[in-house]
């Protein structure tokens, strides 16, 4: 087996890891979008229900908005981290392609 063949065979696991990391990042992004949709759908549902309640039985608005802001912050952090993971998978694949052309 020549050195060229050994180098090509060594790249196969690297390519799989790159694809796996990229797929993990994409799955995490999809999860973040699903959680974001659930957050905003539940907030909308709570506002619709609150429209029919008397004013004295409503929860305090700053508390509701504070909880929603914290959830939104967590979603932003999760989205950023998952996009970094997907980017790392693409970087692994790009590095692999660069070494194959040399």
Domain, as residue range, for 86 = 3-101
What's the number of domains the chain is made of?
1
**Nearest alpha-carbon partner for 26 in 72, 74, 79, 68:** 79
Q: DSSP label at 56?
A: G
Alpha helices in the chain (DSSP H): 3-51, 61-101
pTM recorded for the entire structure: 0.68
Q: CB-hemisphere CA count at 13 Å for 63?
A: 3
Alpha-carbon span 64 to 16, nearest angstrom? 45
**Each residue of 26-82: pLDDT tens digit?**
999 999 999 888 887 877 777 677 767 777 776 777 877 888 888 889 989 999 999
Q: Which tens digits make up the pLDDT trace of 4-21?
A: 555 555 566 777 888 888
Query: How far apart are the C-alpha atoms of 82 and 27, rounded to whole Å?
Result: 8
């Amino acid at each position: 087996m020549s050195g060229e063949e050994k180098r090509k065979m060594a790249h196969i696991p690297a390519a799989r890891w790159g694809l796996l990391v990229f797929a993990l990042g994409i799955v995490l992004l999809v999860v973040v979008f699903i959680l974001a949709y659930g957050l905003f759908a539940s907030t909308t549902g709570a506002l619709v229900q609150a429209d029919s309640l008397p004013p004295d039985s409503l929860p305090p608005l700053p508390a509701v908005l504070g909880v929603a802001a914290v959830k939104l912050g967590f979603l932003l952090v999760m989205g950023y981290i998952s996009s970094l993971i997907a980017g790392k998978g693409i970087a692994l694949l790009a590095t692999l392609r660069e070494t194959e052309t040399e």
